[in-house]
Structure 1
Amino acid sequence: MKSLLTIVLLFCSNIFMTFAWYGHLKLSEYSWFSKLPLIGIILFSWGIALFEYCLQVPANRIGFEGNGGPFSPVQLKVLQEVITLVVFSLFSCFAFNTTLRLNHLVGFAFLVLAVYFIFKG
C-alpha cells in the first residue's frame, strides 16, 4: 500500500511541478499573463510549486525504507524521474502539440531499462 501511495503522490506532485516549470510558457499566449513582469511569473510558478512540495515531501517520507517504506533513496529518485518524464511528455503533447518521435521513444526505453536495473539489485 505504501508503494502505491508513494507513486500516486509522486504523479500528483509532478503534475504541479510540470505546470510550475512549463505552464507559464503556455499561459504566455494569454494577454493578461504575458503582461506580467518576470518576478510576477516567478511568484506565480512558486505558488504552484508549493503544492508540488506538499505532495513530493510526503511521497518521499512514506516511500523511504528508513521510515518503513519500500524504496531506497536511489529507487525513489529513479521513480520520480520516470514519472516526471511521463507527465512532461503528456503535457508537452497536449499543451504544445509536440509529436513524440522514434528517438524519444528509444530514449524512454533506455530509461525504463534504467529503472529495471536500479530495482533489480
Structure 2
Amino acid sequence: MIERLTPIALLIASNVFMTFAWYGHLKYKSAPLLLVIFASWGIALFEYFLAVPANRWGSNVYSAAQLKAIQEVVTLTVFAGFSILYLGQKITLNHLIGFALIAAGAWFVFKAPIST
C-alpha cells in the first residue's frame, strides 16, 4: 500500500510547489518579470526533487499513463484550492464541470482496456 500512496503524496507536494512557481506571482503583478522568472525557477527546483522520485517510484506500480492521469487530477485539485485560498478567485460551476470531465478521463485510464 505504501508503494501506491508515496508517489501520490509526492505528486501532491510537487504540485503545491509548481502551482506557486507558475501562478504565485499573479498576486504580485508589479514585480519585475525577470525577478518573477528566476523566483519561479527556484521554486520549481524543489518541485523536481519531488516529482521525479514520484514518477520513478510510481512507475513500479502504475503505468506512465496512470501516473499522468494522477498528476492531472492532483494538479486540478491543488490549483482549485490555490485559486480560492491564495488568489482569492472563485471556482465557478463551469470550472467544476471542466475539472470533472478531466477527472472522468483519468478514471478511464485506470479501467481495463475497452474491447472493440
How high is the TM-score relative to the length of structure 2? Answer: 0.89
Deviation of 1:76 after TM superposition, in Å, equals 0.6
Gap runs ≥5 in structure 2 = none
Structure 1 position 63 matched with structure 2 position 64: no
Aligned length: 111
- Residue type at the aligned position of 1:46: W
Structure 1 position 109 matched with structure 2 position 100: yes
Where do 1:33-44 residues align within 5 Å? Answer: 34-35=30-31, 37-44=32-39
Please give the alpha-carbon distance, in whole angstroms, between the structure 1 residues aligned to 2:17 and 2:43: 6
Deviation of 1:96 after TM superposition, in Å, equals 2.0
Deviation of 1:38 after TM superposition, in Å, equals 2.1
Deviation of 1:39 after TM superposition, in Å, equals 1.9
Runs of 4+ aligned structure 1 residues displaced above 2 Å come to: none
Please give the alpha-carbon distance, in whole angstroms, between the structure 1 residues aligned to 2:92 and 2:35: 35
Of the three residues 47, 51, 62, the one matched with 1:52 is 47
Q: Report percent identity of matched pairs.
A: 54
> Which structure is higher in helix share?
1
How high is the TM-score relative to the length of structure 1? Answer: 0.86
The Cα RMSD (Å) is 1.3
| 1:80 equivalent in structure 2 | 71
